[in-house]
Structure 1
Amino acid sequence: MTATVADSLIPYDEIVQEALRAVVGRVLNSIAGTQALPGEHHFYITFKTQAAGVDIPKRLIERFPDEMTIVIQHRFWDLKVDDRGFSVGLSFNQVPSILTIPFAAITGFHDPAVNFELRFQANDEDGVEPHEPADNDEPIAMPVEDGSNVVAVDFKRKRGD
């Protein structure tokens, strides 16, 4: 009998998810010192608002009790990145706020300028809930068209005989 990924004692799915989240960290770190995005690049980052380590204003948790999407484009400040996550200043309805988001809380990253997207497994069994972009003085996300550069890793474990 041949072993499958679902039978593996090595947590491949967790290793791949962690590596892909590191891509987000590397991208954010590349712009952290400049506080500006090159060309037309901008990022939509979706994360679980109740995940461990997330630190956002209470009014945002009340509005987005499960998941929210932020936009990093023109008006952001104090972007700081470390091995565990990032913090950034954004304005929500003209109220400045600092958000701290661990990479483990991120469920999606999208750069519409080059149609690049990463999607991550949610920590819950049901998968990622639909999200509503936060009203942080930036444009609303457009859906990704078929044929885009979407990287989605979904390790569904089959229970064998």
Structure 2
Amino acid sequence: MTDALPDSLIPYDEIVQEALRAVVGRVLGEVERSGGLPGDHHFYITFKTSAPGVDLPKHLTERFPDEMTIVLQNKFWDLKVFEERFEVGLSFNQIPARLVIPFAAVTGFVDPAVNFALQFQAQGDTGAPEHDDAENDVPGIVTSEDGSNVVTVDFGRKK
């Protein structure tokens, strides 16, 4: 008798990923409805820049050809949340830009104000999911030297 688990005919991983993305959409929808972030809440949202449906200015896709992290804190505008995507205005080196980001492209969502973090695989990504049974650390956050809304986030895990 073997201890190997049978392959599931139910796509649990996909269902969980979809549910996590719904959390991000709901949170952003609350911010859109209320007209701003409550209290000290602010978000770091990491996404795949080359994912289908992502729409960024050319200078940003050239600078971040794979992945980037944006900050929604003090200086963002025109947040619009739809079922499959969100749109937001941000400034990069004092140049305004409109970003369109499908939830399927999002790989990380962090609200450091309350020690909340989600990390998931970009849809269509064939790599193995990066998870284990350990708790998430609060990501280390390093702001960009050029003053833009882009940061480096290390989604490290406790071992």
Does structure 2 retain, via aligned residues, the 8 Å contact 1:44–1:72? yes
Give distance in 2, aligned partners of 1:71 and 1:146: 21
Distance change (3 Å), C-alpha of 1:78 and 1:97: same
Superposition deviation, residue 34 in structure 1: 3.3
Does structure 2 retain, via aligned residues, the 8 Å contact 1:70–1:136? no
- Classify the secondary structure of the residue corresponding to 2:59: helix
Superposition deviation, residue 75 in structure 1: 0.6
Q: Would you say 1:63 and 2:63 are equivalent positions? A: yes
Q: Percent identity?
A: 62
Provide the alpha-carbon RMSD of the alignment: 2.7
Gaps of 5+ in 1: 148-161
Gaps of 5+ in 2: 131-141
The one-letter amino acid paired with 2:114 is V
Distance change (3 Å), C-alpha of 1:141 and 1:113: farther
Q: TM-score, normalised by structure 2?
A: 0.79
Counterpart for residue 94 of structure 1? 94
Q: Which moved more, 1:136-145 or 1:62-71?
A: 136-145
Give distance in 2, aligned partners of 1:23 and 1:29: 10
Superposition deviation, residue 111 in structure 1: 0.3
Give distance in 1, aligned partners of 2:71 and 2:64: 15
Q: Deviations over 1:37-84 (max 9, x none)?
A: 100000000000000000011110000000000000001101000110
Give distance in 1, aligned partners of 2:156 and 2:53: 33
Give distance in 1, aligned partners of 2:66 and 2:143: 12
Does structure 2 retain, via aligned residues, the 8 Å contact 1:109–1:117? yes
Counterpart for residue 150 of structure 1? none
Superposition deviation, residue 9 in structure 1: 1.2
- Classify the secondary structure of the residue corresponding to 1:17: helix
Q: What count of residue pairs does the alignment treat as equivalent?
A: 143
Counterpart for residue 76 of structure 2? 76
**Structure 1 residue runs of 4 or more that deviate by more than 6 Å after TM superposition:** 144-147
Give distance in 2, aligned partners of 1:108 and 1:46: 5
Superposition deviation, residue 139 in structure 1: 8.1
- Classify the secondary structure of the residue corresponding to 1:38: coil
Q: Would you say 1:124 and 2:126 are equivalent positions? A: yes
Q: TM-score, normalised by structure 1?
A: 0.78
Does structure 1 retain, via aligned residues, the 8 Å contact 2:93–2:148? yes
For residues 28-47 of structure 1, what are the structure 2 equivalents within 5 Å? 28-47=28-47
Query: Which is bigger in relative contact order (C-alpha 8 A, separation at least 6)?
Result: 1
Counterpart for residue 110 of structure 1? 110
Does structure 2 retain, via aligned residues, the 8 Å contact 1:73–1:138? no
- Classify the secondary structure of the residue corresponding to 1:113: helix
